[in-house]
Structure 1
Amino acid sequence: MILWGTGGHDRLDGSGDSDQILGVAGHDTLNGGSADDTIDGGTGNDVLSGGDGHDAMEGGTGHDRLDGGGGTDVLIGSTGNDTLNGGDGEDYLCAGFDGDRVMTNWGVDQLDGGAGLDTAVLFRGAATASIRFDLRDTSLTQYLDNGTGVVRVESVSLFSGRGADILTGGVRSDTFFGGAGNDTLDGWHEGDLLIGEAGNDLILGGNGDDRLAGGLGHDSLTGGTQNDTLSGDTGEDVLTGGAGDDVIDGGSGLDTAVYSGNKADYDIFRIDDGVVLRDLRPNGDGTDTLVLVDRLAFADGTVTMAHMLSRGRAPVAQSDVVTVSEDGVGKVNVLANDRDDDGDALSVVSVTSANPNLSLAFSRTGQVTVTPGVAYQALGAGQSVVTAADVVVRDPYGNTSHSTLSVTITGANDAPTAVNDVYTIGEDGVLTGIDVTLNDHDPDANAHLFVFGLNVGSTLGAVTILDDGTLSYDPGRAFQYLAAGETATDSFTYELSDGFGGHATASITVNIVGTDEPVGGHGEHVMAQTAYTAGWDMVIYG
């Protein structure tokens, strides 16, 4: 339905369907109601209410109030001092625009986005004073140079004038045109469109995939954390892509692209329409495409693009592996799987490891020798550990690349060492619980030492391997001839095993001391041995 006002002060209410309401002249009150309405206040100081639905409202001439209500609405203030309230929904609020014509002299408007995610379009191309505008906290009213206020709006398109403006975006995508003057434009968050236009501008993309253009003047552009597009346009510009894969176009003038690393950290090569500069560091500056950039500024100095291109591309070093026994020497050629896309010969400049138990030697031609230290002798058969070394290769132009050499060290069984023992006992005594392995040792951490066998061919006493692996020795009646204080010697050998095929032998010497016959006969008196070492005698008298 189309509702027309008169030349007077009219009140027009929509039908509930999608209406077109035209106030024409006078101070009108126009209510769209539900559904999607189009409302035009015409001349006069009008009050326009969209109600529910997706409404399009224009205040026209005069000081108008526009309330979007529910739904996604478009509110255009046009001329006069207007108040725009988006209400619920994602609304589009425009101040300083009349149809297809940008207004150069519009009134003092108040824009309130209300609930939802709202967008305001602000035209201040005629502004001569500087504008300070910051959307990071949408609950704070931001004012333009003419007093227009904006609050609860999450995204703006702001076209500024001739002042030195400082414009900061919010959590959604924003568009800033700085106009004339030395402006600071900061997108802050999301993907923004930031154009400095005239003047020497500072433009910061922040987070998101941003598009930055300097326009006229000597500008400084910084992309931020994502994949940005930077255009210096005219003038001598400084362009910093930052993290992400950026497109940097210097435009006319002597332009410089800035990078955080040293020259050796980057690979460079030509493509049809420019140059690709790739950061070889993880989490560095990414891979950028450069067009019409004259100089490159690195942490270790600034060079011309021509100088950087003369270096060629960096080599590509691949990871290598080598396996070596704890007793052996491992060898590998770390250049065998590396490549250089320029066809240059590569050389090894360093092979280093933080592991102090790894000995490394290398030749420039790529041969690396790995020798495990004594600490790895503790590895037993079937055991292994993995350690690593860092390899640096270089081409003739000083371009370098890093790779990792993974070293697997395998264990081998080492023979145990058996140590001789000496014990002393009385002629009527018995040694039992003898643990001859207490002073034996094995370099392998997983070794289990035990007595594997005995050689008692010339032994006068009786030697037995007990169930718990210890030994017992009984001189029996062989030394009853000894007088008190008189001594004799008996001996036997044992074979030690580590449980993995390693063996060793040692001898046991037993000193027998004669004693007087005790009152009451020849009973046996036993003392359990708990620890014996070579050279330590224990005397047991019967």
Structure 2
Amino acid sequence: MAVIYGTEQNDDGITNTVLRALSSFDTVYGLGGDDVIHSDTDLYFDDFTAGVNQLYGGTGNDTYIISEPITWFIYSTPIIWITNLSFANIYETPSETDTADRVDATANGMFGGGNVTFDGDDLTIAYSIRLIDNYGVDSEGNLLAGVDYATMYIPGGTVATIDLKVQHAALSFIRNGTDGDDSLNGTAAANVIDGRDGSDTIYGAAGRDFITGGTGDDTIYADDAAGTDDDETHGGSGDDTIYAYGGADSLHGMGGNDGLFGGTDSDLYLYDSVADGHDVITDESGLLDTILLGPSIVAADVVLENIGTDLKISFVGHPEASITIIGQSAGNGGRVEKLQFADGTSIDLATLTNHAPVTQDDIFDIVEGDSIQGNVFADNGNGADSDPDGDNLSLTAATLTTANGGTVTLLADGNFTYQPAAGFTGADTFTYTALDGLGGATPGTVTVNIAGNIAPDAKDDLFATNEDTLVSGYLLADNGNGADSDGNGDALVVQAVTKPTAAGGTVVILANGNFTYTPKANYHGQDSFTYSVSDGHGGTDTATALIAVTSVNDAPDAKNDYFSRAVIHKTTGNLLVSNGSGADYDIDGDALSVNGTSFVTAKGASVRIFTNGDFTYKALDGYTGVGQDSFTYTLKDGKGGLDTAIATLNFSAATGSIIGTSAKQDLYGTTLSDRIFGMGGDDSITGGGASDFLYGDDGADKLFGDAGNDQLFGGAGNDKIVGGTGNDTLVGGRGIDELKGEGGADIYRFTNVTAGEVDLVRSFKLSEGDKIDLSQILEGYDAATSAITDFVMIANSGVNSTLSVDINGAVGGASFIQIATIEGVTGLTDEAALLTGGKLLVT
């Protein structure tokens, strides 16, 4: 095995043994120049174990000499014979410039004869010489050859040179595309062309070609426009377009939506399965054209439908697939004559004949002065117009006048408008012609019956509702006197309007007869309104709707009350009168009352409300503080109607008062008589030298009266109150308080009766004129009828005395609650004596 290289010059394998392959499996490269390359072997011709030499000529017009013939003389007669047979593969690139490459196969021809065998672009000469990829085409589709000529021994003793391009032109030509978008041109030979991937354009030219588009959207021209060869074409996947032209061609779109154009000969259209998509066939009429369906499609799957002059072949359950034959009904006998199934059965498409449409007479009833719109093809009393072949129906659009002066406008889709002559009644007619688009035409008649108009009859209506309650209804229905009607059966329309009613209500009337009535607020009694109906043809009538409005109780209207008072122990008022927002009232004139009740407000005041609206407000701390308090009450009309309102009381201090804040403070009076209000916080308040009014309010306060006859009110919280000199009044209020009068005739006043809240009374001296005041908590005590011991009990407790009260005055004091401990004092157990002596105050 050897590899031999030539030069770029004209190398000769005879004088320069460099280009001679002597043993099997040698490879020779001629490179440039017009080279002569030899291929020999040491083996005898009948030893077929020899290898194959590989010969590459390169550029230039090269000559290949295969095997060396020798001359023998037998009886003085020269005999050319080969003793050594060489096998060789020759690789010569097809070229437009190197057109004189040749192979000398004389010696091998003695063995293999003048045999030339073509296999696509390859060919074999004299049994043992193979030319690899010897053929191609230029950019215009012209045939090119690598080795152009062959010198061969022809049986019979002659040697001849043949033109390999001429030989190949009569045989098949194989041409393969790339994976891109190719333009492939065949030759006049029988071409085998495969476009492969990409959207290719393939020209088969003359000859009986086999063409495959491959993947992509391909365009295939099996012949030139004048070609008559029988070609076989396959579009492959993608949306392909195939032109067959002349000859009995086979067109197979395969996958995708393909356009197939047959010629004038008997063409065969292949459709394997529903996977072949939507194919459209355009075939020139004549001869016997056939669609061949694959074995997966049977006759029961096929639906034939005429669409204009086209024939659509659909497949049951497969909307993604169809075959449409363009102009199938436009020619004589159809353009495709047969639909062939794989089982041998078929449908003769040429004998499918068109059937004329079937029309049904139409009848319409209208009223004088009315017009009508409709469709003549629809079911208008006798059934719809139809076509036996399923063709779409149409008519010639026109505007015409009937015999009785009516006007008709007809549209191509069958829609029409009819307007009768003014004042005409009776029957009028017009005709039309239904067309199927395939030559079928059938007339139809439309009759319009026009009746004289009768005015509608509107009936009075009766409705009922409650006071302040809207009512809805339908005026055209039977609402007590029968339904509104029309003698012609016309649809009635009510005049739409919004307007007041006779009694001041409001009614909204819609054109369809629905209405909504809203009575005047708080009105009860009878109300009414009128309405008008029309039949659309000039006839009208009016009716009255009567509405009985039943009285219902209206809730009273409680007005919020506002009271302004100076700080005080107790105040009164009436909630029904006007207290800033107007008096409480009832629209029905019902007598009003208030829900009687007693309760304590959020600010700790006791409120008692009486049914006549009177109320009493009393501060549980003995005095109201500066600020605001409120309570809610319920107003009644005696018929189930209720309303609530809020009474707000604003308490203000006198001009010049000292008023603290919600924080903890030390407040001091002057030498004058001061009014000091601590407000919130744990305050310390000192009155000064004159007679002062001190109010601690919320918090644990300390109040010091100092000199003068002072009034000291602790308010809520656990307070410490010291009267100082003078005749003072000490009121602890809510909480556990310490009360110390010191000098002077002091009054210890109690306003809070709460279990567990026991005040401590210190410095209580009867000898100085001190007194216990229970008047604000024993309001139920009656000096004429009550026993003081049922309300008050003072008992010794060691060196102290306990003070307990029963605000209800139960016999025997069943509900006594201790409210104070009197420190360091005993002997006060004779409550009656204290009362008589003026030391116990209860009123």
User: Which protein is bigger by CA-based radius of gyration?
Assistant: 2
Name the TM-score, length of structure 1 as normaliser.
Answer: 0.32
Name the TM-score, length of structure 2 as normaliser.
Answer: 0.21
Instruction: Report which structure shows greater RCO (CA 8 Å, sep ≥6).
Output: 1
